[in-house]
Each structure stands twice: as C-alpha cells, then as structure tokens.
Structure 1
C-alpha cells in the first residue's frame, strides 16, 4: 500500500471550476491521464473534482425503455444527464459531492481487487480521526449504483468506488457524499428509474432504491463538512503515506490529447442518448 504512494505524484484540483465544468470533461481528463501515465509520460496523479447538478448514467441506464422520459424528469428538476464511459449505474453529482481519482500505471500486482482496496484503505486512513465506527466495503442493497465496494457506516452508504483501465493506466475513482442529504439524492434516482421504466420489462435488473440506505458524511458523523475540509484531509493522507505532491498544467501536446478524448466521449454520450 505505502509503496504505491511513496513516490512523486501530480495533484490536479478541479473542485472549483464551477457549474460550467461538464462531467464529460472529467472522463476525458482521466482517460488522458491514464494514457500518459500508462506510457510513462506522466507521474501518478491525484485528481479531485466536483460537478454541479449532474446525474451520471451507466451505459445500461441509457437503454431503459423510456430513457428520454427519465432524462426529461431530471431536466425538469434542474439536472443534466450524461453517460459515463465506464461501468456502473446512475449516481448523483452536485456541489456537496467530492470525486477523487487515483490514476497510476497498470502493474501486474495491481489487480482489479487491489485497485479497489487501494482506494478503500486510503479513505479509511483519511477518516480515521473522525469516527470510531468501522467503514465497511460491501454492497448496500437499496442504494443507487450498488456494488461490492460501496463504503458505508452503520449500513448507510456515503461513497462508491469505480475503476477504469485503459491504455496501460488505471483510474480508481470514488464519489464521496460530503454534505447534503443522501436520502434526497437517492430519492431523485429512484424517481428517475420510475419515469424511465414505467413498469416495462428491462434487460437488466435495476436497483430497488430505498432512500434511507444512503447518507452524507456530515449526516453520519454529525459534523458540518465541506468539500474543502475533505480535500485537505486527502492531501494530508497523501503526505502521511509518503507521497511528494506537485502541481502543473497540461503541455500543448497533452492538451491536444485531452481534446481528442473529449471529442470521443462526447460523441459516445450522444450515441448512447440518441
């Protein structure tokens, strides 16, 4: 674990770009970094990001029988909807949700499970001073986008981990519900599925969402956290693990690769929602 962090890391802070920062840009950034790091043209990277009022759908979600009705419902409630280029189902992003990507070179010892465990261990260390209750990694039935690496306290999910492997790089991503109401976010996704399915048969099993199974860290720990509070703890954890953090912007060549990836993920999104 510590050996992964005991090296030079780049830090990219995309948490304050505001409402104009589109979620598709984040997928383009992570694919670009995966490529550069996989080709050993860049250092491992910690990237933090926030998007405003966006529902990130999975590819399966985009194939629901009444998907356009579901998207219209989200639009009416002030949310944009996009389709991610990795696995999973619908999740909510807003100003109270902090996203983190640990992006590093794919190595033989970094199996898929090892990638998930890397992030799980990182989050446990990050929050160990805040709670004496265990943070568990297990599927929380009733949550949105359920998976075996849902992170929860007392059975209430506050985070979910995903992973993307492309061109020799690995992006281990997590969304952390820092503040706000976890159950209100879950109710929004529940109602989206109601509109997008309408009792029709589906080719996959959609989650039966129980809003009370989800909560934010502020709700669970009884403290008023902000995204910046948790971001600072992330940086402290990187330092404690022995990482050396530097910041830098993309070169012209790297930015060109980013633009190419942005075009690709945008076209894919349009095809999925056509």
Structure 2
C-alpha cells in the first residue's frame, strides 16, 4: 500500500504561534480552503499546525443536548470560547498546551480509504516520538472525551484524537495533541459540561461518561517537559524525511480567494451560539 506520508512535496504552514491571535473558528475555514486547493491540484500535500487560546470545540451532535445553553454558560464562566466545528466528533479542548496538526492530501483516482488517513497520522506521531520507549497505541479509550477507534494513548491514557474532513477531492486528517498541562483537568472541564448540558435527562444519543483519569498530556506520560516548539521540530524532521522537497509556505493566491467564503460558512453556522 502506498505510504500517504511519503509525498513528492510537503508544504508546511505553521500557525502554531500566530494562531493564538485569531479564533479557532477561522482554523476550520483554513483547512477547508486547503482541502479545496490541494484537491484541485493547486497546491501540494500540506501540513498545517495551529494552537489556540482556551476554546472548547463542539461537534454537531453536542448541539442537540437538552440543556446546551447551561453547558455553554459554564464553559464561558471557566474562561473558554465555544465554537461548533464543521466535521464529526464531539467536544474537545484547545489551549496553549495543545498542538493541532492537519495533514491535507489530494485524493487519488481510487480515493483514500478513511482508515489510511488515520493510519498515516498514527504512524507520523509514532515516528515523532520514537526516541521514547513508550508504546503509542491507537484504540478507543472509554471514558475519554470525543472517543474514537483511533484515540492515541500510552498505557491506556489518551493524549490525542484524530478526525477527518473530506472536501472537493481533498482530505484533511486532523489531530489534537495534548503536549503539556493536565489531561485530567481538561477532561474534568468536559465532564462538567456534559453534566450540565444533559441535566440528568435521557438522550437518544449516547454521550461519553467522562473519566478524567484516563486522559493525560504527553509531558505527563513521557515524564518530559515537552513544549509546542519541541513537537514542531519533531514534526518538521519527520515530514522532511518523507519528501523530496520540503518547504515552509503560506496560502497561495487561489487559497486566499477561497478562504473568506469558507470562513463565512462556518461563522454563519456559529452565529446562533454567540447569544447563549
């Protein structure tokens, strides 16, 4: 099977520092614009990195909670912005100790099987931290927030979750990587959100019963003071190994033209939550 990580060109768009100065909402617009561009052959495979201040990103299913307004109000009182993303999954926490990585691939004629996207990201993270003796597993961690079959964990404790977004022949494989800080504290925040947003009522959809102890940061799990900058260097090293041409870039003219419309789409979806 062709290795998705191996690309003739890898363009890196690093927003891990500047991302602190714009809303996470815009990040999903960026990835959609990149999907459309890479899918149309207007740009090579692209890796985008981003970090945002305290933000809780809800999934579409979260918006159906019976007392959503109470849950959102709690998050705001705790100092978090709340947005709803345009891809699947459930609530996740972003802050300055969480590195987000998006890998945007062009779909081949036969398409990219969904598991290949997940496997590529899992392999990348394994390679990034191969100098540590810990085994990084991919399996659902019950009790974590936004659980999925490709939760990344060490010793049964989750530190990352992977999702995918497919748009106009482009595939964005996205991961949030809890680099530093307390994974349990982040999980406790989401546990309380669900408690308030459910209000003890029965729901047809089964929302996760959060167990904070099953989540941790990489710094906690590897007993190492990892930073966003350190993880960025590891990422760049691995991508460089997997390409004939590797370079830092920004959005091209085609992408800059696309960006406003994609940001507007997700902004409009979120407008009704601004008044909660």
Q: TM-score range by the shorter chain?
A: over 0.9
The corresponding residue for 2:229 is 228
Q: After TM superposition, give the deviation of residue 249 of structure 1 in Å.
A: 2.6
The corresponding residue for 1:14 is 15
Q: After TM superposition, give the deviation of residue 246 of structure 1 in Å.
A: 1.7
The corresponding residue for 1:54 is 55
The corresponding residue for 2:141 is 140
Distance 1:169 1:7, change over 3 A: same
Cα distance in 2, alignment partners of residues 263 and 73 from structure 1: 27
Distance 1:121 1:243, change over 3 A: farther
Q: After TM superposition, give the deviation of residue 123 of structure 1 in Å.
A: 0.7
- Secondary structure of 1:7's match? strand
Residue 262, structure 1, aligned to residue 263, structure 2: yes
Cα distance in 2, alignment partners of residues 137 and 3 from structure 1: 18
Task: Give the TM-score normalised by the residue count of structure 2.
Answer: 0.95
Cα distance in 1, alignment partners of residues 208 and 274 from structure 2: 20
Cα distance in 1, alignment partners of residues 37 and 238 from structure 2: 25
Q: Give CA-to-partner distance per residue, 1:211-244, whole Å, 9 cap, x none.
A: 0000000000000000010010000111222352
- Secondary structure of 1:32's match? helix
Which consecutive unaligned segments of at least 5 residues does structure 2 have? none
Q: After TM superposition, give the deviation of residue 5 of structure 1 in Å.
A: 2.1
The corresponding residue for 1:169 is 170
Q: After TM superposition, give the deviation of residue 83 of structure 1 in Å.
A: 0.4
Residue 89, structure 1, aligned to residue 90, structure 2: yes
Distance 1:141 1:273, change over 3 A: farther
Structure-to-structure mapping, 1:1-274, within 5 angstroms: 2=3, 4-17=5-18, 19-107=20-108, 108=110, 110-130=112-132, 132-271=133-272
Cα distance in 1, alignment partners of residues 55 and 25 from structure 2: 11
Which consecutive unaligned segments of at least 5 residues does structure 1 have? none
Cα distance in 2, alignment partners of residues 5 and 113 from structure 1: 16
- Secondary structure of 2:135's match? coil
Q: Give CA-to-partner distance per residue, 1:82-109, whole Å, 9 cap, x none.
A: 0010000000000000000000101225
Q: After TM superposition, give the deviation of residue 255 of structure 1 in Å.
A: 1.4
Q: After TM superposition, give the deviation of residue 168 of structure 1 in Å.
A: 0.4
Cα distance in 2, alignment partners of residues 184 and 25 from structure 1: 26
Distance 1:144 1:3, change over 3 A: closer
Task: Give the TM-score normalised by the residue count of structure 1.
Answer: 0.96
Cα distance in 2, alignment partners of residues 217 and 203 from structure 1: 34
Cα distance in 1, alignment partners of residues 56 and 155 from structure 2: 26
Q: After TM superposition, give the deviation of residue 195 of structure 1 in Å.
A: 1.0
Contact 2:28 2:86 in 1 (8 A): yes
Q: Give CA-to-partner distance per residue, 1:25-80, whole Å, 9 cap, x none.
A: 11000000000111101111010000110000000101111111111000000000
- Secondary structure of 1:267's match? helix
